Structure 1
Amino acid sequence: MKKYNTIIFDLDGTLAVTKSPLTDEMGQLVAQLTQKINVVIITGGRFEQIKKQVIDRLGENVVRSNFYVLPTTGSSMVAYDSKTKEWNYVYRHELTNEQKERIINGIKQALEQASFSINPDDVFENQFEDRGSQITFSALGQYQKPEIKIVWDPEQKKRQELLSYMNHLEDEFALNLGGSTSIDVTLKGIDKEYGINEFYKTTALQIKDGLFVGDKIFPGGNDYPAIKTGIDYRETSGPEETMEIIHEVLQSYD
């Protein structure tokens, strides 16, 4: 494998099971990576969620100045300030209240038109999450068990059907599948392609030296826009394969 100076990861389905923290082994590997290269997480979640899932699992060996977060599908960027020892937003694009309401109403209308229904007994906590710069719809609720989520829409057909009823929103918003039951909605033009390009504009790094790793690199998947940047990429089947990719990257520095 060629030597990369930056590796950009999707989170759910790539580094960890949906909404779950990194395993001890994955946390150690990601921390090892930060000792060699820059590590970036780009995902649909809020920074607070990513901190719990990832940052808090990296231990004492992590080099925080080499770690970046692009929350809410790249609509914001967070970096570590070594002087203040705090995580700060570099940029953040918020949705207006009117835009949020239009998105939520559009999803509710799509659910009414869909050929399938969702049993309320299968929904655990809220289906809609306001992430500031993104609205996320989780069909079975934000905190349903991963093993239940993963079998609900394995071929993405249900969510693709919902998207087909939401095309009236596409003039203003970007609609992407996320996780195993989610639809992520941001302002149009703000997706993982945007986030990755903004990361490289903000830093002194070059995209030719970066690698993207994700599990949804297919049309409609929320990782697909990332590869439009021209960045090298590897598709993964899940955390186990991702660990193999990380080992390859680390070995290139031996």
Structure 2
Amino acid sequence: MKVRSWTACDMDELCRTTKVYGFDLDNTLASSKQPMKPAMIERFSALTARAEVALISGGSMDVVTLQVLDVLDGTADRTHLHVMPTSGSRYYRWNGSAWALVYSHDLDPDTVATVESSLERHAKELGLWEDRVWGPRIENRGSQITFSAHGQYAPVEVKRQWDPDNRKKQALAEAVRADLPDLKVRSGGYSSVDVSLNGMDKAYAVRQLASALGIETRDILFTGDRMTPGGNDYPAVEAGAKGVSVTDPGDALGLMDALLARLP
């Protein structure tokens, strides 16, 4: 399953064959846990006015709201926006006055406690329980529990530098997976590990979105910054979506301009 940088793609062909434009959030549309910048707000809002757009993020609905939904400008058409936080284990649509929940697959309290205990114990055993943190290390996102080595709100560069070869995340994921064979444990962002019900990832989100809209997964174009095998955006491609990679929000801005130049 080949994923290319958008600059290496035939953009005319992509636009001709795409019915939904899907995006990762952190380090794609915005820096981690930060609102979209004004230039991206303008482009993203304009795109929702001209096409069906899906936002598929590993973050919670609260964070997605902070980064995207609360900063959309007056040109945005929220009825064209499909919001799928926590890797698609929740799905929201605009009902005219608020974001209404279409479905959710939340973890029960006993499972949450077991997951949090396993993450903390193994992180400490592996020497991954960092002293300096920005926000909680472990966050219950309802349908997903996320461990972030330096906390949920650590600066992007701190997150990026923590595990450049993914070995720390993989070691923690493997240790926790042994405790929780009935759950899905995977590397998340630069410094995070996510735990959810089995089958809850961006592949699930893409399939659910296609089913809801009565289209094929190949009709969805998904853009993210972690689009290599093992990256948390790659499952969307494994589900059949067309995959496009970007390096950061600045690169994604160029993609937005290319899309808007071709859409009616």
When the two structures are superposed, what TM-score results if normalisation uses the length of structure 1?
A: 0.93
Of 123, 145, 148, the residue aligned with 1:138 is 148
Tell me whether 170-179 or 41-50 shows the greater mean CA deviation: 170-179
Deviation, 1:15, is 0.8
Residue 128 of structure 2 contacts residue 149 of structure 2 at CA under 8 Å; is this kept in 1? no
- Paired with 2:229 and 2:179, the residues of 1 have a C-alpha distance of 18
Displacement of 1:174: 1.3
Deviation of residue 125 (structure 1)?
2.5
What do the CA deviations read for 1:100-140 (whole angstroms, capped 9, x no partner)?
A: 112112212322332x44441x1123111111111011110
What is the CA deviation profile of residues 21-69 of structure 1, one whole-angstrom value per residue up to 9, with x for unaligned ones? Answer: 1000001100111121111111111112111100122211100100111
Calculate the aligned-residue CA RMSD, in Å: 1.6
Instruction: Give the alignment of 1:32-71 within 5 angstroms.
Output: 32-71=46-85
Q: What SS does the corresponding residue of 1:218 show, helix, strand or coil?
A: coil
Evaluate the alpha carbon distance shift between residue 203 and residue 169 of structure 1 in structure 2; reply closer, same or farther with a 3 A threshold.
farther
Q: Corresponding residue for 2:24?
A: 10
1:112 to 119, 124, 132: 124
Q: Give unmatched runs, 5+ long, in structure 1.
A: none
Residue 86 of structure 1 corresponds to: 98
> Within 5 A, what are the aligned runs for 1:86-235?
86-114=98-126, 116-120=127-131, 122-169=132-179, 171-235=181-245
Residue 170 of structure 1 deviates from its aligned partner by: 5.3
Of 215-224 and 43-52, deviating more is: 215-224
Name the aligned partner's letter for residue 65 of structure 1: T
Q: Distance in 2 between matches of 1:117 and 1:94?
A: 27
CA distance in 1, matches of 2:238, 2:181: 20
Q: Is the 8 A contact 1:170 1:188 kept in 2?
A: no
Q: Is the 8 A contact 1:138 1:182 kept in 2?
A: yes
Q: Is the 8 A contact 2:177 2:183 kept in 1?
A: no
- Runs of 4+ residues over 4 Å off in structure 1: none
Unaligned stretches of 5+ residues in structure 2: 1-10
Question: How many residue pairs were aligned?
Answer: 250
Q: Separation in 2 of the partners of 1:117 and 1:28?
A: 39
Q: Aligned residue for 2:41?
A: 27
